Amino acid sequence: MARDRFVYDFDEPSGGKELLGGKGSGLAEMTQLGVPVPAGFTITTDACRAYMAAGHRLPDGLEEEIQERIARLEQKTGKRFGDDADPLLVSVRSGAAVSMPGMMDTILNLGLNDAAVEGLARSTGNERFAFDSYRRLLQMFGEVVDGIDAHRFEQRLADLKQSKGVQNDTDLDADDLRGLTGIFKRIYHEETGNEFPPNAREQLTRAVRAVFDSWDNPRAQVYRHAHAIPDDLGTAVNIVQMVFGNKGDRSGTGVCFTRDPSTGEQGLYGEFLANAQGEDVVAGIRTPEPLENMRERLPEAFDQLVETMATLERHYRDMQDIEFTVEEGELFLLQTRSAKRTAAAALKAAVSMQEEGLITREEAVARIDPGSLDQLLHPMIDPKAKLDVAAKGLNASPGAACGGVVFDADTAAERGADEPVILVRWETTPDDIHGMIAAQGILTVHGGMTSHAAVVARGMGKPCVAGAEGVSIDAAAKTATIGGTTLGEGDTITIDGGSGRVYIGAVELVPPQINEDFETVLGWADDFRRLRVRANADTPEDTAKAREFGAEGIGLCRTEHMFFGEERLPVVQRMIMADDEHGRREALDELLPMQQSDFEGIFEAMTGLPVTIRLLDPPLHEFLPAEEDAEDAKMRRRIRALREANPMLGTRGCRLGLMFPEIYEMQVRAIVRAAIAVSERTGEAPLVEIMHPLVGFAEELRRLRELTVETIEEEGEIEYLCGTMIELPRACIRADEIAEHADFFSFGTNDLTQTALGFSRDDAEGKFLTFYLEHDVLERNPFETLDQSGVGELMRIAVERGRSVKQSLKMGICGEHGGEAKSVGFCHELGLDYVSCSPYRVPLARLAAAQAELAESGAAQYVAAGG
Ligand code: PEP
Ligand code: MG
């Protein structure tokens, strides 16, 4: 809401980050803590919003308020703004509530002109410094306020250094810089048709407007989009008395961290550049020295800096990233903010700050970005590497992998036994599973976040970039064209499933980094959370992995994946090809012992914890080859007969179970026999949950439950639950009727998103959804982050109606959203009992569930910036 004023001095009580931006509130807080900060004031984000709302017009009264504050600044500093003899100079710095490093603009040295620069030279006795400051103003003002291409200025600076035969800016003398200001003024005139404005107040007003405008520059928009920062926050503007790091050898500028931002270790981390202004460090024009070197050069300022770092960390109770300047031996802090850090550093810092008594366990848990944990579970691309991206797709399954490209699953399986390979496909099908297992990573041209490739890769913890539409494959020639380069079988690429990037050639990787800090923080998270966390796993190996990561059961075992093994597929195909029930049963009898042994393995790996087994779900044609590869005319006919225009809406899920009850019957028998065998072997009865997919009508579940119960009774006695997936809108709406026949519900939000939104989960992301996201029709990919107001509302209805008839109905989620932090928070709020996600996301879900509980119980204020 608009307040009655737009400007606050650093030394007066005001608002927090939202009003003053991160930089402004930091400067005010530091001033009030007694940390040395130059004098100044902040124009609020309210003013920016008012400016934008009025069509880029400064709100009434703002200019007067700025003039008043300048007058106070003049009093404090004893200098006058616009004075020719000993001018007050200021910087104008952007600063939004959410940190957007380097995205918006800053202008330094405002207040100089042809006369004032001479005055500055005289009053400081340093002509070189005065002209160095002036040429910087001309360039920054030209670039930021008038949009002149930076290159025009930089080229002339480079030319000058070349003609003088020197390397560094600092090697230029006062005359050189004086000459350069003349050249820069001419560039300004050529580009704008006007003289550079000599009036300090005009400079200031135009600079403030330019910083407001920079909120909407394209790079800031892209950054906001990438980081889901709302577009209407606006930026504050800080007007700060200039302090000068470019006054000679006893001056300088630098940045430092209170702990190592890549490891979290305590120590001195930072860089320092003598005789320079801040932008020299940022622009990388000169190579800074390690901060340690400052100790000898400027011992007093150094000691004060070290002390201030500790003060700030104690005050903010978080690791800080600090910018400072030393002017002739005197230290000034220009900025402090919570430091960006790697996941490993975030964990180490959280654990050590808790040990140091700086923060509580709750805060430590609340500080870690759950999404960042992925970084630690997989090999990663060295974050310091500078690389050319050849293509980009969806970040479908995190981690990086490199290997030779192969174009089909058989070759992947063959070559993958001896060397690392990346399976590159238009898209994958369950048929490719052996190739996916053998490959180091998977790259697909089509498909989204819930495509086969993405789901399976996440389950295996294998890197996957999906839907890289810029890649094209010539399967016959066995080549792929990636970013203009054509590669043949065996040529090396690297994929980064965490960012969706693809690189040509091999890129250096760093290994996974699970360590004690990780275990400590997750252990604390487990103490706080209410939601249980299970995993989606289909094999004993994945089950064991899931358990290692802390899973408290299996929430979804997809049985179809078990039908694709080399010895099984022909039997499955025989079952599908059979002319009658008798023929089908014969094939199913052969499959039964195989299924049984799968279940035994999984039950044993999850002893003491529940295992939800879902009966067959996909359309049968997925088990048959493409028509052209069919063995004979009979198979071709069968393939044609099974073909459906929309197989995802076709003969699949419980519809199969009703039409071919012998299939589900076989699966249930296998489950019961496995449970009994494991009980006998281990003395512990598995906690069996049998789940029916794609139920939309209570009658479907009623019949299937009957079939399930009868089959179980025929086989023997086991404890079990029988429940259903809730993955169709109708099932949500009629959840009360369905609940009559269910012991539990498990939300299949992949299909529920597909059917509620009418977005194909196979195609949408490669097609219109990309456009929707790029053009802000949608803020997030609904297959990745649950669409809370649509799909979430359906879930809410289902929870209420389901529990209205059965208070004890157990509820969980097993769609991909069960492993996404925001969606986990939503599931907590809905009151689900558990979330289930791929094994590698279990740690993330444990942490997100704890954060949801902490937020609800009032520890919310601790959910801090951090990583
Ligand atoms: C779902 O639809 O959310 C689900 C978990 O099942 P699947 O992805 O196997 O269709
Ligand atoms: Mg489903």
pLDDT for 60-81, tens place per residue?
999 999 999 999 999 999 999 9
Is residue 814 part of the annotated active site? The answer reads yes
| Cα–ligand 1 centroid distance for 753 (angstroms) | 10
Q: Is pLDDT of 485 > 80? A: yes
* pLDDT at position 867: 32
Q: What is the mean pLDDT of residues 200-218?
A: 93
* pLDDT at position 694: 98
* pLDDT at position 863: 45
Which of 456, 558, 726 for mutating ligand 1's site (highest number of atoms within 8 Å of CB)? 558
Q: Which of 17-31, 231-245, 381-395 has the lowest mean pLDDT?
A: 381-395
Ligand nearest to the CA of 616: 1
Residue minimizing CA distance to atom 9 of ligand 1: 558
According to DSSP, the residues that pair with 465 across neighbouring strands are: 395, 443
Residue type, 51: Y
Q: Higher-confidence residue: 560 or 749?
A: 749
Q: How far is CA 314 from the centre of its chain?
A: 28
Closest CA to 720 of 686, 761, 679: 686
CA distance 788 to 785: 8
CA distance 456 to 437: 9
Ligand nearest to the CA of 817: 1
Q: Which helix (H) or strand (E) holds 396?
A: strand 394-397
Confidence of residue 862 (pLDDT cuts 50, 70, 90): very low
Q: What is the mean pLDDT of residues 164-170?
A: 85
Specify the 3-state DSSP secondary structure of 462.
Answer: coil
Structure-token match 């410094």, residue found: 129
Q: What is the mean pLDDT of residues 572-591?
A: 95
Ligand nearest to the CA of 558: 1
CA distance 76 to 439: 67
Neighbours of 29 (CB within 10 A): 20
* pLDDT at position 380: 85
According to DSSP, the residues that pair with 321 across neighbouring strands are: 257, 337
CA distance 657 to 584: 13
Structure-token match 């079939």, residue found: 707
Range list of H helices, 529-648: 540-548, 569-577, 581-605, 633-642
What burial letters (b/e) apply to 498-517, b meaning 16+ CB within 10 Å? bbbbbbbeebebeeebbeeb
* pLDDT at position 3: 58
| Cα–ligand 1 centroid distance for 751 (angstroms) | 6
Per residue in 241-288, pLDDT (tens digit) is 999 898 888 999 988 999 987 778 888 788 888 888 776 655 545 667
Q: Is pLDDT of 830 > 90? A: yes
Q: Higher-confidence residue: 487 or 150?
A: 487
What's 153's DSSP letter? H
Q: What is the mean pLDDT of residues 407-412?
A: 94
Residue of 814, 817, 828, 837 marked active site: 814
| Cα–ligand 1 centroid distance for 349 (angstroms) | 38
| Cα–ligand 1 centroid distance for 493 (angstroms) | 31
Q: Higher-confidence residue: 447 or 525?
A: 525
Is residue 452 part of the annotated active site? The answer reads yes
Structure-token match 């520890």, residue found: 859
Point out the ligand 1 atom lying closest to the alpha carbon of residue 814: 5
Q: Is pLDDT of 99 > 80? A: no
Which of 751, 752, 834 for mutating ligand 1's site (highest number of atoms within 8 Å of CB)? 751
For 572, the token pair is: 């499955």
CB 767 within 8 A of CB 801: no
What's 399's DSSP letter? S
Closest CA to 471 of 532, 362, 392, 571: 392
Q: Which helix (H) or strand (E) holds 279?
A: helix 278-282
* pLDDT at position 50: 95
Q: What is the mean pLDDT of residues 110-139?
A: 94
Q: What is the mean pLDDT of residues 416-431?
A: 88
CB 67 within 8 A of CB 39: no
The per-residue DSSP string of 484-539 comes to TEEEETT-EEEEETTTTEEEES---EE-----HHHHHHHHHHHHH--SEEEEE--S
Ligand 1 proximal residues by C-beta, below 6 Å: 556, 558, 617, 727, 748-751, 814-815
Q: Is pLDDT of 431 > 80? A: no
Neighbours of 572 (CB within 10 A): 24
% the chain with pLDDT above 70: 97
Neighbours of 375 (CB within 10 A): 21
Residue minimizing CA distance to atom 8 of ligand 1: 750
| Cα–ligand 2 centroid distance for 182 (angstroms) | 70
- What's the first-to-final CA gap in the chain, in angstroms? 30
Q: What is the mean pLDDT of residues 771-797?
A: 94
* pLDDT at position 756: 98
Residue minimizing CA distance to atom 1 of ligand 1: 748
| Cα–ligand 1 centroid distance for 453 (angstroms) | 13
Which of 534, 617, 750, 786 for mutating ligand 1's site (highest number of atoms within 8 Å of CB)? 750
Residue 552: which residues within 8 A CB-CB, separation 6 or more? 532, 533, 534, 609, 834
Q: What is the mean pLDDT of residues 804-832?
A: 97
Point out the ligand 1 atom lying closest to the alpha carbon of residue 693: 6
| Cα–ligand 1 centroid distance for 815 (angstroms) | 5
Confidence of residue 372 (pLDDT cuts 50, 70, 90): confident
| Helix%, strand%, coil% for the chain, nearest 5 | 50, 20, 35
Q: Is pLDDT of 291 > 80? A: yes
CB 143 within 8 A of CB 150: yes
Residue minimizing CA distance to atom 6 of ligand 1: 748
% the chain with pLDDT above 90: 73
Q: What is the dihedral of CA 330, 334, 335, 340, to 10 degrees?
A: -80
For the chain, give the mean pLDDT: 91
Residue minimizing CA distance to atom 4 of ligand 1: 748
* pLDDT at position 344: 83
Q: What is the mean pLDDT of residues 812-826?
A: 97
Structure-token match 């380097």, residue found: 102
Q: Is pLDDT of 316 > 60? A: yes
Confidence of residue 865 (pLDDT cuts 50, 70, 90): very low
Residue of 452, 621, 692, 741 marked active site: 452
Point out the ligand 1 atom lying closest to the alpha carbon of residue 751: 2
Per residue in 45-64, pLDDT (tens digit) is 999 999 999 999 999 999 99
Which of 554, 615, 727 for mutating ligand 1's site (highest number of atoms within 8 Å of CB)? 727
pTM over 0.85: no
Q: Is pLDDT of 181 > 60? A: yes
Residue minimizing CA distance to atom 10 of ligand 1: 751
For 601-756, strand residue ranges (E) read: 610-614, 687-692, 720-726, 744-747
